[in-house]
């Protein structure tokens, strides 16, 4: 089967890590990334995800709703933590509020919608690239005049 290319999404080079057990949702997100010509690495759990991130520092992580708090906690220990997008079949207002308040970048409801995945992942990717380029703010140096 030939995959149809997604047009109109000018964000090239997006690479992310998906943390969830293989299932139909995993296959769906892989298909979306393939159609966008993006790269998606996969990890079955938080431990293997952290191992992968230590080897390949990625800027965006998609994590299943069951493990997102543990993933967020582990990411905070990295020098440059990637942005976390929570994925869940129960993407209600409570999850959105909790995830954003605790530091996740966004929430993607399952089953995945092509347009929404492309929008959220693209914005996260751009945001992460801007953070990497932003100069580090330093406090002004006070000089004493004698």
Q: Does the global pTM surpass 0.95?
A: no
* Domain membership flag for residue 4: no
* Domain membership flag for residue 8: no
Give how many domains the chain has, as a whole number. 1
98 Ramachandran zone, left/alpha/beta (phi>0; psi -120 to 50): alpha
Show the tokens assigned to 94: 């409570």
Alpha carbon separation from 68 to 17, 48, 99, 142 (Å, rounded): 13, 14, 8, 44
Asked whether residue 49 carries a pLDDT value surpassing 70, the answer given is yes
* Domain membership flag for residue 9: no
Asked whether residue 141 carries a pLDDT value surpassing 80, the answer given is no
* Domain membership flag for residue 39: yes
- Output the pLDDT for position 138: 47
Nearest-Å Rg of the Cα atoms of the chain is 17
Q: Which helix (H) or strand (E) holds 63?
A: strand 60-64
* Domain membership flag for residue 139: no
List the domain range (segments joined by +) for residue 39: 15-133
* Domain membership flag for residue 144: no
Across the range 36-53, mean pLDDT stands at 95
* Domain membership flag for residue 48: yes
Closest listed residue to residue 109, CA positions, set 52, 99, 138: 99
State pLDDT tens for residues 50-108. Answer: 999 999 989 999 999 889 999 999 999 999 999 999 999 988 999 999 999 999 999 99
* Domain membership flag for residue 46: yes
63: domain CATH number is 3.40.50.2300
Across the range 21-30, mean pLDDT stands at 86
Q: What's the N-to-C CA distance of the chain in angstroms?
A: 78
Across the range 16-40, mean pLDDT stands at 90
């Amino acid at each position: 089967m030939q995959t149809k290319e997604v047009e109109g999404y000018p964000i090239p080079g997006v690479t992310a890590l998906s943390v969830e057990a293989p299932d139909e949702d995993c296959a769906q997100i892989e298909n979306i990334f393939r159609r966008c010509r993006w790269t998606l690495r996969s990890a079955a759990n938080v431990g293997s995800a952290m191992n992968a991130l230590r080897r390949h520092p990625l800027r965006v992580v998609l994590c299943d709703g069951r493990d997102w708090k543990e993933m967020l906690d582990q990411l905070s220990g990295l020098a440059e933590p990637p942005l976390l997008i929570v994925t869940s079949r129960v993407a209600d207002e409570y999850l959105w509020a909790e995830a954003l308040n605790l530091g996740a970048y966004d929430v993607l409801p399952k089953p995945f919608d092509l347009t929404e995945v492309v929008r959220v992942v693209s914005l996260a990717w751009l945001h992460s690239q801007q953070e990497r380029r932003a100069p580090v703010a330093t406090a002004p140096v006070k000089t004493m005049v004698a």
